[in-house]
Amino acid sequence: MTFADQPIGEFLDGVASGQVTPSGGAVAAVGGAMGAALCEMVCIHTAGTEEAATELSGVGDTLADRRERLLALADEDAAAVDAVGAAFESGDDDRIQAAAKRSTKVPLETAEVCLDVVEHARTVTAKGTPVAVPDAAVGALLAAAALQASVATVRANLDMIDDESFVAAMKQRADEAEAAGEAALDEAVANAEN
């Protein structure tokens, strides 16, 4: 069963258990998906000019895609974490390195998808129906927190990897996502406050 198919209480029980997964990466991805869903909701409920409604309809479709991708990334993260554990149990260094790279790529993609959610939240908070804009701001905050959490996971996992060029490339992408996310969040929150 995928995380997307689990009741939320069951998912949280799994997190708050003795199991290794779902762990931080999966939780961040689900949090990002929740942020996308809130922004998507505002797109759906926006009344107003036809131009704004048409633009937000397309944004809403994109956010729905991001929500689905983030839920899939939650499952991919759990599989990646499980693979790291199995690799360490095997003692095979090549297997450990491959698993460590995978466990870095997944949260990096999560961060980048969350960035896209926060960037779209700027439009939603600027053009959404005023009564619903605070929900889009919450969505932006959730996606930005998921982005930050994912970047932190990437940075922690880089310590396991010997490939210096891979480490440098992942660090650069993480830094870029983090900086862009902060700027987009500032704008989304400012839009919501106006």
Region for 44 from its dihedrals, namely left if φ exceeds 0, alpha if ψ lies in -120 to 50, beta otherwise: alpha
Q: Which residue has the tokens 């996606």?
A: 143
pLDDT score, position 45 = 85
User: For every one of its 194 residues, what pLDDT tens digit does the chain have, with 9 covering 90 and above?
Assistant: 898 999 999 999 999 999 888 999 999 999 999 999 999 999 988 865 666 677 888 999 999 999 999 999 999 999 999 999 999 999 999 999 999 999 999 999 999 999 999 999 999 999 998 889 999 999 999 999 999 999 999 999 999 999 999 999 999 999 999 999 999 999 999 999 88
Give the model's pLDDT for residue 114: 98
CB under 8 Å to 19, separation ≥6 — which residues? Answer: none
Per-residue pLDDT at 187: 95
- Region for residue 48 given its phi and psi (left: phi exceeds 0; alpha: psi -120 to 50; beta: otherwise): left
Q: What pLDDT is attached to residue 51? A: 65
What is residue 89's predicted lDDT score, i.e. its pLDDT? 95
Q: Which amino acid is at 9?
A: G
How far is Cα 86 from Cα 34, in angstroms, rounded to an integer? Answer: 30
Nearest Cα neighbor of 106 from 151, 162, 55 is: 151
101: phi then psi, degrees, rounded to nearest 5 = -65, -45
Q: Which of 48, 68, 60, 25 has the alpha carbon at shortest distance from 136?
A: 60
pLDDT of residue 57: 86
The reported pLDDT for the residue numbered 26 is 96
Closest CA to 188 of 38, 25, 24, 31: 38
